[in-house]
Chains A and B, each alone.
Chain A
Amino acid sequence: MRSYIIKRLIYSVIIAWGILTITFILLRIGPTSPVDRYLLNIAAKGQDIESVKQAIEARYGLDKPIAEQYLSYMGNLLQGKWGWSFSASMPVLDLIGSHWIYSFQLILLSTIFAILLGVSLGMLSAVKQNTKVDYATSIFSFIGISIPGFWLGLMLILVFGVQLGWFKTYYDTSYPIWSLQNLKQLILPVLALGIGELAAYVRYTRSAMLDNLRKEFVTTARAKGLPERTVIGKHVLRNAVLPLVTIIMFDLGSIVFGGAYLTEIVFGIPGLGQVSFNAIFADDYAVVVAVTLIGTFLVLLINLSTDLIYTYLDPRIRYD
């Protein structure tokens, strides 16, 4: 088991290296180099282009051969020198440091909401397969995964903000993050992000439960005289959880981060998505790259943890 953990860690390091390298390559394939764009902005502010260009080239080492650029790029990133955001006038890391908590809160709350409701509904749906409850839940989950998350956000604002006036249509940052007023204004964003997740989790849970409901050990459990709620709630669930953990964590990385990005923009929540969005239109590439890298490394971390959690949960893998 320990050798597995070590192997997995080494593997993650390789992937991390791969991520940084690919990002480097992407940055260099654009038709306009980051310098040119930066220069356009500076020129718009009326400074002397040539001197600025030389300063940048010296600073970013863009006049040096590509291999050297690559090494200094890697070096900088690993040392935490993630550049300067000229649109926000602060180091990129500081910018991220002051905004990540909003994204974290949004994602945390919607994921908890989606897991609690989604898994319960999925279990119910599986146990009562082919009944009205099952059909209703199926329809709901089909709809849930087909609605574009950002449009759902807009519709929620339209109905509850504009028409009914229950919520403000902009995000007020004056409240402390974990205060009740702040949580109240997070209700709509959490719903917008969470409903899509929820619908997906219902389907996954239902499918995982159904797969296990027909297995022989369920008959054995009943033959032992166990009450039905123990059969389902302990024997079936404990087996269904295995694929579920994997797929929920996978979804988190691939879909939820993108969804959170859009939800922040729709609701004006000043999280990393909003920060990246603002940076795009200011051509502040360092910020955009930084947010992408953070998202990617988080996914890497999540994948690693999922592997370890799964190994712990499934005795067939833990004791080999």
Chain B
Amino acid sequence: MTEATKAPRRISSGFNSRLAGYYWERLKKNRLSLVGLGFIALLALLGIFGPLFAQDPQHTDFNVKNLPPLGFSIQESIYDIKTDSFTTTTLPGRPDHPLGTDSKGRDMLAMLISGSRISLLVGLLATGIAIFLGTLIGVLAAYAGGWVDNVLMRFTDIMMTFPFFLLLVLIVFILGPSLTIIVAVIGLTGWTGAARLIRSEALSLRTRDFITASKALGASDSRVIFNHMIPNVISLVIIMATLSIPGVIMAEAALSFIGMGDPMSTSWGTILNTGQHTMDTAWWVAVEPGIMLFLTVLSFNFLGDGLRDAFDPHSII
């Protein structure tokens, strides 16, 4: 009888560690996602601790220019004025520049590490801004309804019509290429997709049976919002964020590639920009940053795909 009079222990609800643990278990079963996550973690470590061990990426030394990566060698033909002929020497890679150097003698490994910092920073920050804005606008539109919804959605439609990259180029052209501006611009232009998705999710949640059921059980408005609606939206937000990061990283790389990146920083795109002109003499400068970009984007895509499956209650894992 004393059992019945004890206050029932609160069964926690909302998005808490138990729910997160459940999703993590499901995600773990997707091996590709884990590989992607591992690579991203590696990249983050590299970005944080790499610069401590690597050389200065901006340091130019024309004595070691155009060195191939370790294990490769390249033929160099140098015109010798004295003998009036070409002498061909074979230049092998060296262990102190394991990934080679570019045409100004800058160490490739150092530049790639510096590039990883930029890509991850831009990726995370710009995506954060975009998703935050998009969620804000989407939720606002869904809840306010009426003319607020109308105006916000027309504005979203207008912004969505601009081709993303063309708009980026235009704004960076107007405002000038600095890292802060690039992050801000990508964030302030990339929110449209998120806004649409969040708004439709919020609208549909409002009328779903489980919401009506919890209200029928007596739940208050805030309880409904926090314990029922937000957990369902959070998973969408996480998936969207993860899948937006590749696009953001590629956008920054593309901007840097066409010369509109931050001239003070070494991003992978900037390296590619210099590399495209020396593809016959120093092909690795064009190849290596691209491989890094590819692997990074691939990892986020694997992770995002796995997250999407993990969060989907209909998929059998």
Do A and B share a direct contact in the complex (Cβ within 8 angstroms)? yes
Please give the residue numbers on chain A whose beta carbons come within 8 Å of chain B beta carbons, in ascending order. Answer: 14-15, 18-19, 22-23, 26-27, 29-31, 142-143, 145-148, 150-151, 154-155, 157-158, 162, 253-255, 257-259, 261-262, 265-266, 276-277, 280-281, 285, 288-289, 291-292, 295-296, 299-300, 303
- Which of A142, A262, A291 is within 8 Å of B254, CB to CB? A262
B155 proximal to A (CB < 8 A): yes
* Known contacts A145-B301, A162-B279, A296 near B293 by CB under 8 Å: no
Chain B residues, Cβ within 8 Å of A158: 279, 283, 286-287
B191 proximal to A (CB < 8 A): no
Report the Cα distance A266→B154, complex, angstroms.
Answer: 36
List, sorted by A's number, 5 A–B pairs whose CB atoms are closer than 8 Å. A15-B157, A154-B275, A154-B279, A276-B169, A285-B174
Report the Cα distance A296→B161, complex, angstroms.
Answer: 6
Report the Cα distance A188→B165, complex, angstroms.
Answer: 22
Cβ–Cβ contact B280 & A162, under 8 A: yes
Cβ–Cβ contact B166 & A157, under 8 A: no
Cβ–Cβ contact A155 & B165, under 8 A: no
Cβ–Cβ contact A146 & B294, under 8 A: yes
Cβ–Cβ contact A31 & B297, under 8 A: no
Cβ–Cβ contact B166 & A280, under 8 A: no
Q: Which residues 157-209 of B have a CB within 8 angstroms of A?
A: 157-167, 169-171, 173-176
Report the Cα distance A147→B297, complex, angstroms.
Answer: 8
4 other A-B residue contacts (CB within 8 Å) besides A142-B301, A150-B254, A262-B257: A18-B157, A142-B302, A266-B276, A276-B166
Chain A residues, Cβ within 8 Å of B167: 292, 296
Chain A residues, Cβ within 8 Å of B169: 261, 276, 280, 288, 292
* Known contacts A26-B171, A142-B301, A147 near B257 by CB under 8 Å: no
Report the Cα distance A196→B162, complex, angstroms.
Answer: 20
Q: Mark B258-298, 1 if CB is under 8 A from A, else 0.
A: 11100000000000100110011001001101100110011
Cβ–Cβ contact B286 & A18, under 8 A: no
Q: Which of B166, B253, B286, B301 has most chain A Cβ within 10 Å? A: B166
Chain B residues, Cβ within 8 Å of A280: 169, 173, 258, 260
Cβ–Cβ contact B158 & A147, under 8 A: no
Chain A residues, Cβ within 8 Å of B279: 154, 157-158, 162
* Known contacts A257-B165, A266-B276, A292 near B170 by CB under 8 Å: yes
The 7 lowest CB-CB distance pairs between A and B, nearest first, are A258-B165, A18-B158, A151-B290, A146-B298, A257-B163, A30-B174, A146-B297
Cβ–Cβ contact A262 & B302, under 8 A: no
Q: Which residues 127-169 of B have a CB within 8 angstroms of A?
A: 154-155, 157-167, 169
Report the Cα distance A251→B295, complex, angstroms.
Answer: 23
Cβ–Cβ contact A300 & B161, under 8 A: yes
Closest to B159 in A: A22
Closest to B275 in A: A154
Cβ–Cβ contact B161 & A148, under 8 A: no
Chain A residues, Cβ within 8 Å of B301: 142, 145-146
Cβ–Cβ contact B246 & A146, under 8 A: yes
B250 proximal to A (CB < 8 A): yes
CB distance from B70 to the nearest CB of A (A): 20
Report the Cα distance A71→B221, complex, angstroms.
Answer: 47
**How large, as a class, is the contact surface on chain B?**
35 or more
Cβ–Cβ contact A148 & B171, under 8 A: no
Report the Cα distance A143→B295, complex, angstroms.
Answer: 9
- Which of B176, B294, B298, B305 is within 8 Å of A151, CB to CB? B294
Chain A residues, Cβ within 8 Å of B294: 146-148, 151
Q: Which residues 292-317 of B have a CB within 8 angstroms of A?
A: 293-294, 297-298, 301-302, 305
Report the Cα distance A249→B44, complex, angstroms.
Answer: 36
Closest to A20 in B: B158
Chain B residues, Cβ within 8 Å of A151: 272, 286, 289-290, 293-294
Closest to A301 in B: B161
Cβ–Cβ contact A295 & B166, under 8 A: yes
- Which of A29, A142, A257, A285 is within 8 Å of B173, CB to CB? A285
Cβ–Cβ contact A27 & B174, under 8 A: yes
Chain A residues, Cβ within 8 Å of B159: 22
Q: Which of B157, B160, B162, B276 has most chain A Cβ within 10 Å? A: B162
Report the Cα distance A296→B154, complex, angstroms.
Answer: 15
Report the Cα distance A63→B254, complex, angstroms.
Answer: 37
Report the Cα distance A262→B286, complex, angstroms.
Answer: 15
CB distance from B28 to the nearest CB of A (A): 20
Report the Cα distance A154→B280, complex, angstroms.
Answer: 12
Report the Cα distance A276→B259, complex, angstroms.
Answer: 13
Cβ–Cβ contact B280 & A296, under 8 A: no
Chain A residues, Cβ within 8 Å of B260: 280
Report the Cα distance A299→B286, complex, angstroms.
Answer: 32
* Known contacts A289-B170, A292-B166, A148 near B293 by CB under 8 Å: yes
Cβ–Cβ contact A253 & B170, under 8 A: no
Chain A residues, Cβ within 8 Å of B157: 15, 18
Chain A residues, Cβ within 8 Å of B289: 151
Report the Cα distance A292→B21, complex, angstroms.
Answer: 46
Chain B residues, Cβ within 8 Å of A19: 158, 161-162
Q: Which of B154, B158, B287 has most chain A Cβ within 10 Å? A: B158
Cβ–Cβ contact B290 & A292, under 8 A: no
Chain B residues, Cβ within 8 Å of A276: 166, 169
Chain B residues, Cβ within 8 Å of A29: 174-175
Report the Cα distance A147→B272, complex, angstroms.
Answer: 14
Chain A residues, Cβ within 8 Å of B160: 254
CB distance from A224 to the nearest CB of B (A): 29
Cβ–Cβ contact B297 & A148, under 8 A: yes
Q: Which of B155, B250, B305 has most chain A Cβ within 10 Å? A: B250
Cβ–Cβ contact B161 & A257, under 8 A: no
Chain B residues, Cβ within 8 Å of A148: 250, 253-254, 290, 293-294, 297
Cβ–Cβ contact A261 & B165, under 8 A: yes
Chain B residues, Cβ within 8 Å of A27: 174
